[in-house]
Structure 1
Amino acid sequence: MAGVLPPNPNDPRVIRTRQLILDAFIQQLNIMDFNSITIGDITKAATINRATFYAHFPDKYALFEAFLLDAFTNMVVCKVDTKGPLTKKTLLELIVALCNYHETSHHCFKKYDSVALLLEENIKLHLEKLTLQLISGADVAADSKSLATAATLLSWSLYGVTYRWNLEGRTEPPSELAVRVMPLITDGFHMFN
């Protein structure tokens, strides 16, 4: 609509309404398949009208993106030192945090399979940005393309190993998984030659 300003993100009422929408969405994810959830379901659970919803989010996919970013920030980013360089300690923390993220995500959704692909794309994107930030923080003499490639390789590897851990029933504690895969990550694959 022309002439309508977006809500002020610092206004306490806007923050509360946005949280109401997110809480209602999470509630719906616990009882319904993501693809079955409608804006009407969310607005009814949040006790708001559709116009209020659309003032905050253009659609349920943007809401899902906001939900995932918030969860990723709280469960992964907050668990590592993002200001420092990438170290073995940081990698261990990342693996454990990603395991916890997968486990929690698996329990949050009624039909995990319906959101798994969206979840994967989202995690990989944010994890790659975080990894690039950590790699760039180290004193490494490399061009930006090499750093970006390294960030992609590392982030997708971290995602893959923790995804597989979750898929195969979480048979070992996250800390043990982290210790077990660390030599592959830090020393590369020369150990197989």
Structure 2
Amino acid sequence: MAGVLPPNPNDPRVIRTRQLILDAFIQQLNIMDFNSITIGDITKAATINRATFYAHFPDKYALFEAFLLDAFTNMVVCKVDTKGPLTKKTLLELIVSLCNYHETSHHCFKKYDSVALLLEENIKLHLEKLTLQLISGADAAADSKSLATAATLLSWSLYGVTYRWNLEGRTEPPPSWLCG
């Protein structure tokens, strides 16, 4: 289908249809294991046909990626001043928002373990980009390779400590174990 154009992302109908697909996907994640969900399940719940689904997403993994990016943006990026430098306050905001992200994700999926690896990979990637942006603003003269290494170290550490908090049952709110 070389003559088919992708949908205009600014068209209100396209936006509504994309949201229908995302909502149907979230609904399926609440009742089914990710690996069991089919495109047919999503299209049936969204009341669209398969061609419409494929006009928006190449497969369910791309849909999952879009869902995770949207969730990460809303739950983490929007909670942090991305234009400012990396400070203790920014780190605290990142940790609290990541804890909230983990907690929400854990409740959102019927079988969290089936998506945990995809979720981890996705969070680390986006968190690393965000961290690099923050530390690059703080030290513009630093070597880009050193900054990238520092961003990887910091983002994986942030992910690890918040993942452990989630894994251990979220018994304390994040600020209590950060300051202690």
- TM-score between both structures, scaled by the size of structure 2: 0.96
Task: Give secondary structure in 1 for the equivalent of 2:54.
Answer: helix
Task: Give secondary structure in 1 for the equivalent of 2:138.
Answer: coil
Deviation at 1:145, TM superposition (A): 0.1
Query: Could you list the per-position Cα deviations for residues 7-49 of structure 1 after superposition, in whole angstroms to 9, with x for gaps in the alignment?
Result: 0000000000000000000000000000000000000000000
Deviation at 1:141, TM superposition (A): 3.1
Runs of 5+ unmatched residues, structure 2: none
Aligned-partner Cα distance in 2 for 1:139–1:164: 30
- Structural RMSD (CA): 2.3
Query: Could you list the per-position Cα deviations for residues 35-88 of structure 1 after superposition, in whole angstroms to 9, with x for gaps in the alignment?
Result: 000000000000000000000000000000000000000000000000001000
Aligned pair count reads 177
Task: Give secondary structure in 2 for the equivalent of 1:3.
Answer: coil
**Change beyond 3 A, Cα 1:192–1:107:** closer
Query: Could you list the per-position Cα deviations for residues 143-166 of structure 1 after superposition, in whole angstroms to 9, with x for gaps in the alignment?
Result: 000000000000000000000000
Cross-structure match for 2:115: 115
Deviation at 1:171, TM superposition (A): 1.4
Aligned-partner Cα distance in 2 for 1:162–1:144: 27
Deviation at 1:140, TM superposition (A): 4.9
- TM-score between both structures, scaled by the size of structure 1: 0.89
Deviation at 1:192, TM superposition (A): 17
Query: Could you list the per-position Cα deviations for residues 89-133 of structure 1 after superposition, in whole angstroms to 9, with x for gaps in the alignment?
Result: 000000000000000000000000000000000000000000000
Cross-structure match for 1:55: 55
Aligned-partner Cα distance in 1 for 2:171–2:109: 21
Deviation at 1:139, TM superposition (A): 3.1
Aligned-partner Cα distance in 2 for 1:84–1:162: 23
**Change beyond 3 A, Cα 1:32–1:143:** same
Runs of 5+ unmatched residues, structure 1: 175-190
Task: Give secondary structure in 1 for the equivalent of 2:9.
Answer: coil
Cross-structure match for 1:156: 156
